[in-house]
Homo-oligomer: A and B are copies of this chain.
Amino acid sequence: MAASTASRLSPPRPTASSPYPRPPPRLSRFSSLRAAKLEAVLSIGTHVIPHPRKVETGGEDAFFVGGDGGGVFAIADGVSGWAEKNVNPALFSREVMANSSTFLKDEEASNDPQILLMKAHAATSSIGSATVIIAMLEKTGTLKIASVGDCGLKVIRKGQVMFSTYPQEHYFDCPYQISSEAIGQTYQDALVCTVNLMEGDMIVSGSDGFFDNIFDQEILAVISESPGIDEAAKALAELARKHSVDVRFDSPYSIEARSRGFDVPWWKKLLGAKLTGGKMDDITVIVAQVKTVAVPDDEGRGVEQEKRGEQVTVAATASAEQNG
């Protein structure tokens, strides 16, 4: 088969009739749900596995789940280089997440992840730096995202990745990061984007220690095989952890490293070797599923709790210590 001879396929065509009548205009599936008094909420599962050498201290990732209806989550990954300066890299990431939780009470910040990032960062007094991603789901189904660095977020719909953030970095393995120092990035450097979600969409978010050790096809397979979001988060984290300590696994991290010119010494190359291996790191995974809840009136108050499913999200800050 020569790739260049392929031509694109149209799906089976049942009839050769004229254009079919189309449904009346709707802004989006959630706009129509809103008209029917339905609102979008998230059910969220999380799992954290610290770096193998940081199990006792819980690692340097921190995360946060909160918001009315569980519509907000965030991950901060403390930059490990600070340990060389006798600074605990976990303090900064944990404080940023704790401050993010606090500022959710602020009306402006509670509706804009970039503003929340700005306020949480400004209120942080710890020395250090961190990559951060914050995501907020509006009741209409729009997910708002602000990200500095290489935490990631993917949206899965009908078994395929249909949206993904991209990492920002200064150079290989040195991500954009908010910092206690003037040289760092701020909310102004964030990637700010939105994506319109539909009922049933799955969101998979994580620190770079997750995405550097797992491929999209593996994420899709685990999601499809998991009975629930908690099981999915745990299985995803454990698969990434397994790859991270496998020196023969050709991980997304090692593929990227080779593409940037890193490799084994020349004499090993002559013997047929190449740079492989996972990346040992803290691994944080958040899996969220978009659901709808019925609201009894136009005010949007009094959400019927029982329709949210078994997983009711609660405001909480957490670090790797809690489930490492």
Contact = CB atoms under 8 A, between A and B. Distances in A.
A95 to B, nearest CB: 11
Interface string A18-30: 1110110111110
A4 B193 contact: no
A258 to B, nearest CB: 9
Q: Please classify how large the interface on chain A is, using the bins under 10, 10 to 19, 20 to 34, 35 or more.
A: 35 or more
Nearest to A244: B4
Contact of A186 (B22, B161, B166, B169): B22
A8 interface: yes
Interface string A107-127: 000001011001001101101
Interface stretch (A277-285, A293-301, A306-314): A277-285
Contacts of A18: 125, 127, 180
A199 to B, nearest CB: 13
Contact of A3 (B27, B121, B160, B279): B279
Nearest to A108: B25
Nearest to A143: B193
Interface string A184-214: 1010100111111000000000001000000
B194 A2 contact: no
B170 A11 contact: yes
Contact of A195 (B191, B253, B264): B191
A2 B173 contact: no
A11 B275 CA distance: 25
Interface stretch (A37-45, A75-83, A227-235): A75-83
Given A19-B180, A20-B182, A262-B1, A175 B8 contact: yes
A13 B179 CA distance: 10
A276 interface: yes
Contact of A188 (B29, B188, B208): B29
A263 interface: yes
A94 B253 CA distance: 42
A278 B194 contact: no
A302 interface: no
A164 B162 contact: no
19 contacts: A1-B263, A2-B247, A3-B278, A4-B244, A8-B79, A8-B81, A8-B175, A10-B79, A10-B174, A16-B127, A18-B127, A27-B115, A29-B188, A160-B166, A162-B166, A163-B166, A163-B191, A193-B193, A193-B195
Interface of A: 1-20, 22-23, 25-29, 79-82, 85, 112, 114-115, 118, 121-122, 124-125, 127, 129, 160-166, 168-170, 173-175, 177, 179-184, 186, 188, 191-196, 208, 217, 244-245, 247, 251, 253-254, 257, 259, 262-264, 275-281
Given A4-B279, A8-B79, A192-B196, 17 more contacts: A3-B257, A6-B173, A8-B174, A8-B208, A10-B179, A14-B182, A14-B183, A15-B181, A18-B125, A22-B186, A25-B115, A25-B118, A26-B188, A160-B166, A161-B166, A193-B195, A193-B196
